[in-house]
């Protein structure tokens, strides 16, 4: 059976409506009785999650390989390692994060003491996508648990093997009532979204992000939306094109390009286009060999419908003359394989203009989310900045600039979820930094301490002795105050 046929035959995972209701009620009841609040409980859950990843490593690796063709090493690097480091950081810091913090009290209200007391929000709904089906489910969950919440966990139905494995394993390692799993797609998620939660963390595309936010508004539920977009790259470091190409090739083609922070397209000057294509050719061959379809380290496209969309970008480049295929371009529909592909686009007439169907091909309007890298020649950094600013605010911006001034100009004059200079993707694995988008790329950031704060309420508690009564002046009659206030 071909990979395509197998994926088409996969049964859609689903949890029955009555069970969904019961699981949400259970998670809420567990929170209401205070089950998830103690640090001892939180630690036990985090240790449970770690034990799950250790004990079922092989099974999970196979599930991710079945759904995404991900190699064992890539699985370790991108699914296990980031979750383990979130768990370790939370276990190390939990005590410190949970300690109330002193806050200053102005003289007017002295004597008094104030502190910020972190408290859990309640029951959190975690909805995750298919592209890193374990990491993007479990990394937010670590923060949710650390902050003392209960949660309902909804894996993506697009990766059904991983969804099934996690639905089976999580209840064995976590408190099953406090952290139930609900499986399914649109129907089941719609049912979940009718329920009342205290926070919703959603990772996925912006159209569904809007659905989630609208549903949350009905209950006044706060949301964290981790969305996507087109992450641009600026390259002008002519002296280091080999190094740049090695970084770009890895970041773009890991997980077959299905990464929210993958470089989407490259902006560079016309003179560097051909040298960069040549360097990318060498970088691709060095990482995945002459024929990446035979490399055990090159992933596959998650589902036929996504493959068809990607094939459409390549065909359009060939047919319409809006750009050309410079590298790769091969598609094997049965194997759900798209070769690492580089397109060289035409120079935009007006880089700062809004991109419409008339003036821009689909590959430069939509988030690519596959192993296709367009290179767009522009006049220089100012044009590139105008180009970035004319699009929606991206999740990440990558800079390979020869001069500090140019890099700083991008940082100052563009807006994005984050910026990395001299590398790609690594900010996501830096637990000391908040990870999230801005504008169209998302709302709210998490990871490490930022997760803990995102999923807690920092409650100010002000304590003032009743005697002496220093507030007398604030009460009427105001005869003593008259004339003393501005
Ligand atoms: P997806 O299709 O798995 O959908 C995400 C979740 O939304 C799933 O759990 C799915 O069941 C649910 N869903 C789908 N349609 C729904 C509907 N109509 N109503 C309610 N729920 C629904 O994943 P996707 O959206 O294709 O994921 C890819 C996108 O996610 C890309 O845009 C990517 O950039 C973005 N992404 C962002 C991050 C980040 O951390 N910011 C990480 C990964 C992916």
| 6: preceding bond cis by omega (within 30 degrees) | no
Is-contact 378 351, C-beta < 8 A? Answer: yes
Q: How far is residue 362's CA from residue 357's CA, in Å, rounded to a whole number?
A: 7
DSSP state of 415: -
Is-contact 322 345, C-beta < 8 A? Answer: yes
Nearest to 154 by CA among 189, 123, 203: 189
- The neighbour count for residue 185, using CB atoms within 10 Å, is 16
Cα–Cα distance list, 278 to 79, 246, 318 (Å):
32, 12, 20
Nearest to 158 by CA among 66, 53, 74: 66
What is the residue-wise DSSP string for 282-350? HHHHHHH-S-GGG-TT----SSHHHHHHHHHHHHHHHHH-SSEEEE---EETTTTEE--EEEEPPPPS-
- Catalytic one of 89, 226, 367, 383: 226
**pLDDT at residue 9, as a whole number:** 87
Lay out the sheet containing 113-120: strands in order across. 101-103, 113-120, 456-463
The CA 205 to ligand 1 mean position distance, Å, reads: 5
Measured from the CA of 226, which atom of ligand 1 is nearest? 41
Is-contact 89 118, C-beta < 8 A? Answer: no
Ligand 1, atom 18: closest residue by C-alpha: 186
**Residue 308 phi, psi dihedral angles, 5° rounding:** -65, -40
Measured from the CA of 367, which atom of ligand 1 is nearest? 32
Is-contact 367 355, C-beta < 8 A? Answer: no
For ligand 1, mutation pick of 13, 129, 206 (most atoms within 8 Å of CB): 129
Measured from the CA of 212, which atom of ligand 1 is nearest? 20
Q: How far is residue 210's CA from residue 404's CA, in Å, rounded to a whole number?
A: 38
Tokens of 154: 């909804």
**pLDDT at residue 71, as a whole number:** 93
Ligand 1, atom 3: closest residue by C-alpha: 129
Ligand 1, atom 13: closest residue by C-alpha: 186
The CA 190 to ligand 1 mean position distance, Å, reads: 13
424 belongs to the catalytic site: no
For ligand 1, mutation pick of 205, 418, 444 (most atoms within 8 Å of CB): 205
Q: Is 16 helix (H, G, I), strand (E, B) or coil?
A: coil
- Catalytic one of 188, 195, 260, 392: 260
260 belongs to the catalytic site: yes
Nearest to 260 by CA among 350, 139, 154: 139
Rounded-to-5 percentages of helix, strand, coil across the chain = 50, 15, 35
Nearest to 205 by CA among 368, 417, 373, 14: 368
> Which portions of the chain are predicted below pLDDT 50?
none
For ligand 1, mutation pick of 67, 133, 204 (most atoms within 8 Å of CB): 204
**pLDDT at residue 479, as a whole number:** 76
Interface confidence, given as ipTM, is 0.96
The CA 169 to ligand 1 mean position distance, Å, reads: 22
Q: Ligand 1: residues within 6 Å at CB?
A: 127-131, 136, 154, 156-158, 185-186, 189-190, 203-205, 208, 211, 226-228, 260, 367, 369, 395, 437, 442
Q: How far is residue 153's CA from residue 166's CA, in Å, rounded to a whole number?
A: 10
Listed in sequence order, the residues at least 6 apart from 205 whose beta carbon sits closer than 8 Å to its beta carbon are 129, 227, 228, 367
* Sign of CA pseudo-dihedral 99, 104, 110, 111: positive
The CA 424 to ligand 1 mean position distance, Å, reads: 22
């Amino acid at each position: 059976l071909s990979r395509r046929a197998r994926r088409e035959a996969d049964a859609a995972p689903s949890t029955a409506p009555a069970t969904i209701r019961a699981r949400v009620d259970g998670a809420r009841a567990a929170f209401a009785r205070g089950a998830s609040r103690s640090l001892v409980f939180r630690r036990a859950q985090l240790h449970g999650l770690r034990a799950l990843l250790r004990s079922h490593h092989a099974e999970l690796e196979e599930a991710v390989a079945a759904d995404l063709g991900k190699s064992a090493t890539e699985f370790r690097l991108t699914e296990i390692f980031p979750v383990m480091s979130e768990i370790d950081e939370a276990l190390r810091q939990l005590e410190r994060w949970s300690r109330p913090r002193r806050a200053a009290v102005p003289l007017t209200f002295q004597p008094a003491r104030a502190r910020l007391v972190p408290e859990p929000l309640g029951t959190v709904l975690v909805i995750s996508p298919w592209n890193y089906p374990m990491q993007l489910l479990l990394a937010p969950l670590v923060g949710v648990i650390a902050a003392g919440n209960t949660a309902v966990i909804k894996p993506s139905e697009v990766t059904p093997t991983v969804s099934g494995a996690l639905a089976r394993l999580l209840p064995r390692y976590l408190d099953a009532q406090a952290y139930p799993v609900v499986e399914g797609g649109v129907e089941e998620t719609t049912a979940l979204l009718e329920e009342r939660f205290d926070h919703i963390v959603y990772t996925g595309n912006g159209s569904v992000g809007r659905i989630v936010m609208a549903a949350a508004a009905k209950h006044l539920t706060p949301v964290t939306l981790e969305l996507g977009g087109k992450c641009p790259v600026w390259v002008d470091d002519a002296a280091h094109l080999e190094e740049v190409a090695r970084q770009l090739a890895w970041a773009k083609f890991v997980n077959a390009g299905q990464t929210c922070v993958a470089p989407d397209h490259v902006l560079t000057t016309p003179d560097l286009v051909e040298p960069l294509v040549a360097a990318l050719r060498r970088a691709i061959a060095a990482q995945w060999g002459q024929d990446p379809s035979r490399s055990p380290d090159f992933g596959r496209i998650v589902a036929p419908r996504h493959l068809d969309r990607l094939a459409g970008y390549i065909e359009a480049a060939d047919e319409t003359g809006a750009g050309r295929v410079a590298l790769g371009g091969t598609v094997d529909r049965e194997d759900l394989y798209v070769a690492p592909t580089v397109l060289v686009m035409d120079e935009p007439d007006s880089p700062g203009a809004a991109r419409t169907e008339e003036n821009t091909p689909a590959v430069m309007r939509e988030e690519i989310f596959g192993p296709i890298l367009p290179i767009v020649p522009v006049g220089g950094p100012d044009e590139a900045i105008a180009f970035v600013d004319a699009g929606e605010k991206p999740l990440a911006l990558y800079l390979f600039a020869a001069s500090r001034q140019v890099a700083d100009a991008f940082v100052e004059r563009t807006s994005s979820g984050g910026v990395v200079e001299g590398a790609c993707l690594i900010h996501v694995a830096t637990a000391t930094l908040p990870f999230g988008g801005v504008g169209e790329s998302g709302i709210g950031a998490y990871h490490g301490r930022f997760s803990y704060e995102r999923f807690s309420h920092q409650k100010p508690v002000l304590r003032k002795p009743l005697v002496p009564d220093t507030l007398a002046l604030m009460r009427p009659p105001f005869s003593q105050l008259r004339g003393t206030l501005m």
